[in-house]
Amino acid sequence: MHAYPQHQKHHYLADILQALHLTMDQFIYNPIHHSHYETILFRWILKLYQKQTPAEHAIQVIYITRNTFVLEESIGVKN
Protein backbone atom coordinates (compact mmCIF):
# COMPACT_ATOMS: atom_id res chain seq x y z
CA MET A 1 0.00 0.00 0.00
CA HIS A 2 1.30 3.44 -0.90
CA ALA A 3 -0.79 5.59 1.43
CA TYR A 4 2.22 7.19 3.11
CA PRO A 5 5.12 7.35 0.64
CA GLN A 6 6.92 10.10 2.60
CA HIS A 7 6.67 8.00 5.76
CA GLN A 8 8.28 5.06 3.94
CA LYS A 9 11.01 7.30 2.52
CA HIS A 10 11.71 8.72 6.00
CA HIS A 11 12.12 5.22 7.47
CA TYR A 12 14.35 4.19 4.56
CA LEU A 13 16.55 7.24 5.11
CA ALA A 14 16.60 6.74 8.88
CA ASP A 15 17.61 3.07 8.57
CA ILE A 16 20.51 3.93 6.27
CA LEU A 17 21.68 6.87 8.38
CA GLN A 18 21.61 4.72 11.50
CA ALA A 19 23.80 2.11 9.79
CA LEU A 20 26.23 4.87 8.76
CA HIS A 21 26.29 6.25 12.34
CA LEU A 22 24.83 9.61 11.34
CA THR A 23 22.04 11.47 13.11
CA MET A 24 19.08 12.73 11.14
CA ASP A 25 19.50 16.28 12.52
CA GLN A 26 23.13 16.53 11.49
CA PHE A 27 22.48 14.90 8.14
CA ILE A 28 19.64 17.29 7.22
CA TYR A 29 21.48 20.37 8.56
CA ASN A 30 24.73 19.83 6.65
CA PRO A 31 23.46 19.73 3.01
CA ILE A 32 21.58 22.97 3.65
CA HIS A 33 24.95 24.50 4.51
CA HIS A 34 26.63 23.02 1.42
CA SER A 35 28.41 20.05 2.95
CA HIS A 36 29.49 17.99 -0.05
CA TYR A 37 29.61 14.61 1.73
CA GLU A 38 26.03 14.71 2.95
CA THR A 39 24.78 16.15 -0.34
CA ILE A 40 26.34 13.30 -2.34
CA LEU A 41 25.16 10.74 0.19
CA PHE A 42 21.61 12.13 0.05
CA ARG A 43 21.59 11.84 -3.75
CA TRP A 44 22.79 8.23 -3.55
CA ILE A 45 20.10 7.35 -1.01
CA LEU A 46 17.35 8.96 -3.11
CA LYS A 47 18.47 7.13 -6.25
CA LEU A 48 18.51 3.82 -4.41
CA TYR A 49 15.07 4.55 -2.92
CA GLN A 50 13.65 5.40 -6.35
CA LYS A 51 15.03 2.11 -7.70
CA GLN A 52 13.23 0.38 -4.79
CA THR A 53 16.48 -1.08 -3.51
CA PRO A 54 15.97 -2.72 -0.09
CA ALA A 55 17.59 -0.69 2.70
CA GLU A 56 19.92 -3.54 3.68
CA HIS A 57 21.26 -3.78 0.13
CA ALA A 58 21.41 0.02 -0.20
CA ILE A 59 23.63 0.18 2.89
CA GLN A 60 26.06 -2.27 1.31
CA VAL A 61 26.04 -0.36 -1.99
CA ILE A 62 26.73 2.90 -0.16
CA TYR A 63 29.58 1.38 1.87
CA ILE A 64 31.25 0.04 -1.28
CA THR A 65 30.66 3.19 -3.32
CA ARG A 66 31.76 5.48 -0.51
CA ASN A 67 34.96 3.53 0.08
CA THR A 68 35.76 3.52 -3.64
CA PHE A 69 34.98 7.23 -3.90
CA VAL A 70 37.16 8.09 -0.89
CA LEU A 71 40.00 5.87 -2.12
CA GLU A 72 39.96 7.47 -5.57
CA GLU A 73 39.95 10.94 -4.01
CA SER A 74 42.86 10.08 -1.71
CA ILE A 75 45.08 8.76 -4.52
CA GLY A 76 44.05 11.43 -7.01
CA VAL A 77 42.27 9.31 -9.63
CA LYS A 78 40.36 11.46 -12.12
CA ASN A 79 37.46 10.24 -14.22
- Model pLDDT for residues 19-67, shown as the tens digit of each residue: 999 999 888 888 777 788 888 899 999 999 999 999 999 999 999 998 8
20 CB-side CA count, 13 A: 27
For CA atoms 6, 16, 39, 43, the dihedral sign is negative
DSSP state of 3: S
Q: Is the pLDDT of residue 5 over 90?
A: no
